[in-house]
């Protein structure tokens, strides 16, 4: 079983701990008893994400496993991170986990995604250097519509190199892969949420600062059913794939563009009508 500092889910950690001992006759009842729970299946429910650990429960389980020192600190932070619903608080706990892992020379799965999506400048620069591989930071900074300094560009380039999204050889940058997927790793999702905020703010600024001939902004307000919602989501996904294919086939890139696709409710569900059907 790998060290706890390599885990990004306390539920997975507990399940691995159980499985390793189950081969020698260890049961969920045994685990619950050692941790001080009367329900023989409570910890199984926790591992299945059907129950949560209280602050007291965290200490009970940690004691049952024998966690001490930094392992105990990490377990506490990991439980808070995974059980927290508020995205800003989750991000704070994620940073605490990263700090503990880094201090003890461990690497967390999802760190590269998190760092890549932490700033809107990262994907923009990644596209820019693909067509201007030898450009200096000050030249790249001058190409941004949003005011950007050479220092900010240098910092962003450093992140892209460290996370493996760019490589540098003889003063020239090159993109490691043509496309980037958001994937399903939770740390990446935290940063993606923040990036959507950043890109949304840039879209608002573009309404005032970019000529209408160089931008396209439109919207549609409609009343729909749950089934229609799902169909539209699927159609939007297919549309994004078609756009990505067009961009992949594009040659002689001149500018970096961003398209925000936003589809969200403006009213609460009409429960009365649903009940009548």
Structure tokens at 106: 């461990």
Q: Which helix (H) or strand (E) holds 147?
A: none
Instruction: Please state the separation of Cα 41 from the chain's center in Å.
Output: 32
Predicted local distance difference test score (pLDDT) of residue 184: 42
**Sign of the dihedral through C-alpha 226, 229, 233, 234:** positive
Whether pLDDT at 239 is above 50? yes
Averaged pLDDT, 217-221: 91
Q: How many beta carbons lie within 10 A of that of residue 133, not counting itself?
A: 15
In CATH, the architecture of 110-210 is: Orthogonal Bundle (1.10)
User: What are the phi and psi torsion angles at 245 (to 5°)?
Assistant: -65, -40
Tens-place pLDDT, residues 56-77: 999 999 999 999 999 999 999 9
In angstroms, what CA-CA distances link 42 with 30, 46, 64, 242? 11, 6, 14, 47
* Percent of the chain scoring above 70 in pLDDT: 91
Eight-state DSSP code of residue 245: H
> Could you tell me how many residues make up the chain?
277
Tens-place pLDDT, residues 134-167: 999 999 999 999 999 999 999 999 989 988 889 9
- The rounded distance, in Å, linking the Cα atoms of 159 and 253 is 24
Averaged pLDDT, 167-187: 70
Tokens 């790793």 identify what position? 185
Domain extents in the chain? 4-107, 110-210, 222-250
Predicted local distance difference test score (pLDDT) of residue 181: 53
């Amino acid at each position: 079983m790998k060290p706890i500092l390599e885990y990004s889910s306390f539920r997975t950690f507990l399940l691995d701990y159980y499985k390793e001992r189950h081969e020698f006759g260890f049961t969920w009842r045994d685990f619950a008893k050692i941790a001080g729970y009367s329900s023989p299946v409570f910890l199984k429910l926790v591992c299945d994400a059907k129950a949560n650990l209280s602050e007291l429960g965290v200490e009970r389980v940690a004691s049952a496993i024998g966690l001490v020192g930094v392992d105990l600190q990490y377990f506490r932070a990991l439980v808070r991170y995974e059980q927290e619903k508020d995205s800003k608080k989750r991000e704070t706990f994620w940073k605490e986990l990263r700090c503990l892992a880094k201090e003890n020379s461990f690497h967390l799965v999802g760190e590269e995604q998190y760092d890549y999506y932490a700033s809107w400048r990262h994907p923009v620069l990644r596209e820019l250097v693909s067509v201007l591989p030898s450009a200096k930071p000050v030249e790249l900074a001058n190409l941004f519509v949003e005011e950007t300094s050479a220092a900010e560009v240098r910092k962003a380039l450093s992140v892209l190199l460290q996370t493996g999204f760019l490589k540098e050889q003889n003063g020239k940058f090159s993109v490691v892969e043509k496309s980037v997927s958001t994937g399903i790793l939770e740390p990446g999702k935290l940063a993606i949420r923040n990036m959507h905020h950043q890109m949304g703010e840039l879209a608002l600024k573009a309404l005032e600062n970019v000529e209408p001939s160089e931008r396209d902004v439109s919207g549609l307000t409609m009343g729909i059913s749950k089934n229609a919602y799902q169909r539209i989501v699927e159609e939007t996904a297919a549309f994004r794939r078609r756009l990505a294919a067009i961009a992949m086939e594009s040659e002689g890139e001149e500018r970096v563009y961003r398209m925000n696709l936003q589809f969200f409710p403006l009213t609460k569900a009409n429960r009365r009508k649903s009940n009548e059907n």
